[in-house]
Structures are given as C-alpha cells and as structure tokens.
Amino acid sequence: MVKIERSFPAPVSLAAEAGKNNGSYEKPDVVARLIKDFHNKCYICELKNLQDPQVEHLLPHKNGKYQERKFDWNNLFWACGHCNGVKNQKKYDAGILDCCKIDPEQKIIFRLKQNNIELLSQMADPDEETVRTIELIREVFNLKNTGLRVYKSDMRLKELQKEMNLLFDNLEKLKENPKSELVLRKLKALLRREAAFAAFKRCYVKEHLSDYPELRPLIF
Ligand SMILES: [Zn+2]
C-alpha cells in the first residue's frame, strides 16, 4: 500500500446518484477517475491491471445503512475482488489506513521473506488503523480458507516474488555498471508508486540504501 493522490472535485455523478432510491456509486465517471487516481492498481494488494476490479468502501456502508458513506468520494477506493472480499469482515469495519490521506510507507515496513511477506509497524505503539491494515495485507497474501483463496493468495505471492526478482536483477546490474542510464531508467519505473507492489520494492531499497545511494531520489 502506497500513498495515493486523490483528485478533486468528486466525479459529478455521485451527488446525483446519492439522491436516488437505487443510485449507483460506480457510474463511468467514478470508475474512470478511480482507475486514473489509483493507477489501475488494487490499493490493498498492489496487483496491477485488475481483471475483477471493484469500487470498495473504506468504511462499509452496510447495504445502505450508512447512506452518507455510500456516495462519499473520499470513501471510494479501487480494489480487486479478492481483497474486497477479505476486507469484508467485522474486524475491519472500524477502518484501515486511508492511503489518500496518510502515507502507509511511514507507518508500515513491507518485506518479502523466503516464502512469505513480513509486515511490521514502523512505530513501537502503532495506531489501530495501522494494526488493522497490517492484518488485512497479511490476510490477502495468506488467507486460504476456501479453494479459490488458496489460489488467489498464492497467485499474489508469486506475482510479488516475480516483481521483486525484477528489482533484484536490476539492482545487480546497477552494481556492475553504476552509470548505466538504461538500468537507472528501469529502476525508476520499478520504484514509482504507480508500479505493482511498489511498497515492497521501495521498502527494500530504503533498507539497503547504503548499497545504492544513487537511488535515494527515487524513493524520497
Ligand atoms: Zn487486491
């Protein structure tokens, strides 16, 4: 999860739809704006170019019980079906980090270990939103309580490993040839917040900055 710059004003359909009995919060203007603002990436697992995107509510509207949340532009997020489904549990109802307002990289350490992810709080005494966000991201890479979730969680881990290997390959090349413009350009693309699994890649570089000081401007 990385910081997202949400654009304003809100898509115009939201105000009109909020006044209808069966209004929709996923009209084309809302969807197009979410794709653009969120770089067509699930804000929870950071998978790109989603096949099954959903408009997710940071704070649940509970089938319209909280009508004001349903059409609130600040409450609408771009997520994959898997993450939306995993997040739909009571324990997340009080909310996770709002990555449009708070930079998750300031709150969470994102690591890929041997065969799993490791998420830690940056603070000794983390706030509740940070704790719930860590729990949720762990779950979307690990929850295997249905056959499909075995597949979907594993698939995310494999995609993350692939992307990290791409990063490691290019870091290796940078060591061999620190002045290579081509390698630096590739690393710049891999480390942009827009990129898949950016939080994990950026965190790795941050934790190994002494080996790659030339990459500092790409992550701060
Ligand atoms: Zn996701």
pLDDT in tens, 183-198: 999 999 999 999 999 9
CB 111, CB 118: distance < 8 Å: yes
Domain contains 178: yes
Measured CA to CA, the distance from residue 77 to residue 206 in angstroms comes to: 27
Domain contains 174: yes
State in Å: Cα 191 to ligand 1 middle. Answer: 19
State in Å: Cα 63 to ligand 1 middle. Answer: 22
State in Å: Cα 58 to ligand 1 middle. Answer: 13
Count of domains forming the chain: 1
Query: Quick one: pLDDT at residue 149?
Result: 94
Domain contains 189: yes
Domain contains 7: no
CB 188, CB 218: distance < 8 Å: yes
Taking residues 159-164, report their average pLDDT.
98
Domain contains 125: yes
pLDDT in tens, 119-129: 999 999 999 99
- Statement: residue 114 has pLDDT above 90: no
Q: What is the model's pTM?
A: 0.96
State in Å: Cα 55 to ligand 1 middle. Answer: 12
Domain contains 203: yes
Domain contains 5: no
Residue 142, domain extent: 13-219
